[in-house]
Amino acid sequence: MSLIHEVRAIYDNYGFETEVLAASLRTPDHVKACALAGADVSTVPPAVLRSLVKHPLTDKRA
């Protein structure tokens, strides 16, 4: 994750208009960390993508 932070900082410091790609993220926590680090795009396996919308409170009824 530190690499994503560093690349984002370098591109921002020099005004490069390049998008940062975080590839092959394996857990929802990796997706979150890369988003917070400034990644513009990420690739994730379908199972990780599905797990991003699963949360105990999602299906909880009032």
The pLDDT confidence band at residue 53, using thresholds 50, 70 and 90, is confident
Per the confidence metrics, is the pTM higher than 0.75? yes
Q: Which phi and psi (to 5°) does residue 49 adopt?
A: -60, -45
Residue 62 has pLDDT above 60, yes or no: no
Token pair in block for residue 5: 């932070």
Q: What is the dihedral of CA 33, 6, 42, 19, to 10 degrees?
A: 140
Q: Three-state secondary structure along 18-52?
A: CCCEECCCCCHHHHHHHHHHCCCEECCCHHHHHHH
Tell me the per-residue pLDDT of 4-51, one tens digit each, with 9 for 90 and over.
999 999 999 999 999 999 999 999 999 999 999 999 999 999 999 999
pLDDT of residue 39: 97
Three-state SS at 53 = coil
